[in-house]
Amino acid sequence: MAFDIEMIKKVYARYPERIEAARKAVGRPLTLTEKILYAHLSEGAASQAYGRGVSYVDFQPDRVAMQDATAQMALLQFMQAGKNQVAVPSTVHCDHLIQAEVGADQDLIKAKDKNREVYDFLASVSNKYGLGFWKPGAGIIHQVVLENYSFPGGMMIGTDSHTPNAGGLGMVAIGVGGADACDVMAGLPWELKFPKLIGIKLTGKLSGWTSAKDVILKVAGILTVKGGTGAIVEYFGDGARSLSATGKGTICNMGAEIGATTSIFGYDEKSAAYLSSTERADVAELANGIAEHLTGDDEVYANPATYFDEVIEINLSELEPHVNGPFTPDLAWPISKFAAAVKENGWPAKLEVGLIGSCTNSSYEDISRAASLAQQAVDKKLVAKSEYTITPGSEQVRFTVDRDGFLDTFGQMGGVVLANACGPCIGQWARHGAEKQEKNSIITSFNRNFAKRADGNPNTHSFVASPEIVTALAIAGDLTFNPMTDSLINEDGVSVMLDEPSGLELPAKGFAVEDAGYQQPAEDGSGVTIVVSPTSDRLQLLDSFKAWEGTDLKGLKLLIKAKGKCTTDHISMAGPWLRYRGHLDNISNNMLIGAVNSYTDATNSVKNQLTGAYGEVPATQRDYKANGVGSIVVGDENYGEGSSREHAAMEPRFLGVRAILVKSFARIHETNLKKQGMLGLTFANPADYDLVQENDSIDIVGLTTFAPGKQLQVVLNHADGTSDTIQVNHTYNEGQIEWFKAGSALNLIKAKA
């Protein structure tokens, strides 16, 4: 991967100068997070200090990673940018569309058949534009990234919320929407609100039954699912240095569960060991050369309260194994208190299934420690009482743990090895009987345990724990079992206890793999044809949006005046619609179907001003489009909050809505609208929202002199012949106004290509 090492050299070469500039600008010692962020400013060396939690800053990430569900629209958009190659090293990982049912081999064959058109499309786009393509079965995005691409001091964005996993190897790695990935691949800067910083000091050392997973389970209990919002969590201290790189990855991965922007550990000997064992000794050598910049300054860690917005301290020597749940990952129970909680709350104590692995917990260390328990079960004549599944994070891990006999051991315990893919973690689990919706308990080493996530059954009580605890509880078949204190009765009727798990951080014989499942892109992709069937209902090539016509917009029909909460889920629902993520026309049939019509309080029912009849929102808008009539959407406060899903901005643009006028926007959605060439406006006086009437015909005036900071006027022409003229604000800067005029940001990039 020569491309990568050259890129890493360039990144490291600029570190000394940029860190010096940052120290000068900030005027104090720096945390690791600040070093990495300031080293990746799009402006180059820092000329000013940025306000944490305040300033919006442009960054230049080093890499992009995408999983197959989100990559589809990101790449369809990228194709619009008119580039021959991606601007930064990027990869696609086929992990989300494989359903777990019988076991790895059969499930993979079925998935390849079912998703063939999506895989063929992603493979061909990757081949053409220079992206690394990881085929179905190659592994889960975050594990594959950790093994191959993450590097200390780097910055990466990924179209998946657990992208922060790479923080285990010292990378600022942040989950984003497809539009952001598209921008960075097209060479544009990437904007982020400069984060706040939470410092977590780890002291002591893990031992016995406790593992790295328990650190984040404990942190989730302290900070709750919202406690990390807008912040990067930086771990430091002797305890941090004692953890394996993959253990650190687990902690960073699950930082998503506290809402953190990302989490990070500094570069240390464990990072170097992991890099070397994954055939990247050259990266470790480069990192050693700038090691002082790949950790926070000594003074910062000596007096963390001065430099972090919040500091937490955890002593690993005193940390107990935890079980979190059900239904939320921040309900944290030390194992000594868990049995009582199960009884008091009436949760089903009988454990149906234990599931280990996933992107969160499928390192060699995890698997070997879990296998040590499985081996004990066999040796001590214990028959596992629960079903048990193993999801390896990558083919490299799977091949290696198979070579070392662990999969065999799991098999003897009755375990089933699933494909190297997300599977049950993302609800791709054909769990037999789930449709009966019976109350039951499962325990996983995954990260999320919201209702219905694993098997669609709202009554499945899902708990999260380390692979070791999951395995022990699966052997017992009982949630109230505490392996540290309780014994089990074996086949001979003898009472036995499980010994502490043991394992290896890294394989003694090294990692091995026969076919990692990687497709190297073509050197010159100009001759590669993109494979999209014109009859596909899942994929559709995009057409450029039309440029602005150069005049004010007159006679727009009010499509909907939405009342109250209108999140990206209300604008573009998930669930069954995810199937159409790569087909803008088809997915547009969900446009605004969750929004509440302020005149009727109904959802998905609006008045068609051309016919006077009420109809579904997408159908009504399609009628306006067919008749060449523009429309406008009016909304309430914080319109577009929620995910960064770009479909919520693309769908109205695609169906011919010309403007979104609201009391206030969620910032990411507002930016997404701007990128798609849509007008996003806010009422200068929020009370003017009440002036908008159901039968209004609306003009937007002032576009010919559209300028930053200058208000526009909106004329509400009411059905009774009267009208109201109101002032509206916008936040477009010069560049964004150019996006609007060109029809979209991508149109502009294409014009300049």
Show which residues are catalytic.
95-96, 160, 448, 643, 645
Cβ closest to ligand F3S, residue 62 vs residue 160: 160
DSSP, collapsed to helix, strand or coil, labels residue 752 as helix
In the complex, least distance from residue 453 CB atom to ligand F3S, rounded to whole angstroms: 9
Q: How many CA atoms lie within 13 A of 466 on its CB side?
A: 33
Min separation Cβ 423 and ligand F3S, Å: 8
Question: Which of 598, 673, 513 is CA-nearest to residue 177?
Answer: 673
User: Among residues 34 and 95, whose Cβ is nearest to ligand F3S?
Assistant: 95
Q: By C-beta, is 142 or 369 nearer to ligand F3S?
A: 142
Residue with Cβ nearer ligand F3S (297 or 455): 455
Closest to 261 measured CA to CA, from 296, 234, 224, 222: 234
d(CA 392, CA 690): 55
| Two tokens, residue 684 | 């200068």
Burial of 269 (0-12, 13-18, 19+ CB in 10 A): exposed
- The Cβ of residue 497 has, within 10 Å, a number of other Cβ atoms equal to 12
Q: Shortest gap between Cβ of 362 and ligand F3S (angstroms)? A: 9
Question: Tokens standing for 517?
Answer: 């499942």
CB of 355 to ligand F3S, least distance (A): 11
Which amino acid, 412? Q
In angstroms, the CA 517 to CA 605 distance is 47
Cβ atoms within 10 Å of 375's Cβ, excluding its own: 19
Phi-psi region of 337 (alpha: psi -120 to 50; beta: other; left: phi over 0): alpha
Helices (H), 436-521: 467-476
Query: Which residues neighbour 402 within 8 Å (Cβ) at sequence distance 6 or greater?
Result: 408
DSSP 509: T
Is the peptide bond preceding residue 326 cis, with omega within 30 degrees of 0? yes
Phi, psi at residue 119, to the nearest 5°? -65, -45
- Do 31 and 234 contact (CB within 8 A), yes or no? yes
Token couple for 414: 């009755």
Alpha-carbon distances of 220 from 215, 259, 492, rounded to whole Å: 9, 10, 41
Angle between helices 68-78 and 178-185 (to 10 degrees): 50
Residue 436, number of CB atoms within 10 A of its CB? 9
**Residue 685 CB, nearest distance to ligand F3S (Å)?**
44
Give the nearer residue to ligand F3S in terms of CB position, either 146 or 657: 146
Sign of the C-alpha dihedral, residues 131, 132, 138, 143? negative
Here the tokens at position 49 are 């200090």
Where is 737: in which H helix or E strand? helix 734-742
Look at the block and give the residue holding tokens 């064959």. Answer: 109
CA distance 166 to 250: 9
CA R_g for the chain: 27
Residue listed under structure tokens 């005149």: 599
Q: Which two tokens stand for residue 115?
A: 């998703």
Min. distance of Cβ 141 from ligand F3S in angstroms?
5
Q: For residues 359 and 669, what is the distance between their CA atoms, to the nearest angstrom?
A: 28
Q: How far is CA 227 from CA 199, 221, 677, in A?
A: 13, 10, 35
Q: Residue 380: what are its φ and ψ, rounded to 5°?
A: -95, 10
On whether the CB atoms of residues 137 and 422 are closer than 8 A, the answer is no
Are 97 and 115 in contact, with CB atoms under 8 Å apart? yes
Per CB under 6 A, residues contacting ligand F3S are: 95, 140-142, 160, 162, 358-359, 422, 425-426, 446-447
Q: What are the residues whose beta carbons fall under 8 Å from the beta carbon of 257, sequence distance 6 or more?
A: 216, 220, 225, 329, 330, 447, 448
φ/ψ region of 414 (left if φ > 0, alpha if ψ in -120 to 50, else beta) reads left
Nearer residue to ligand F3S within complex by CB, 169 or 559: 169
Vertex 249: Cα angle to 19 and 423 (nearest 5): 135
Q: Determine what percent of the chain falls in helix, strand and coil, rounding each to the nearest 5.
A: 40, 20, 40
The CA-CA-CA angle for residues 131, 133, 136, to 5°, reads 160
557 HSE (CA, 13 A, CB side) = 20
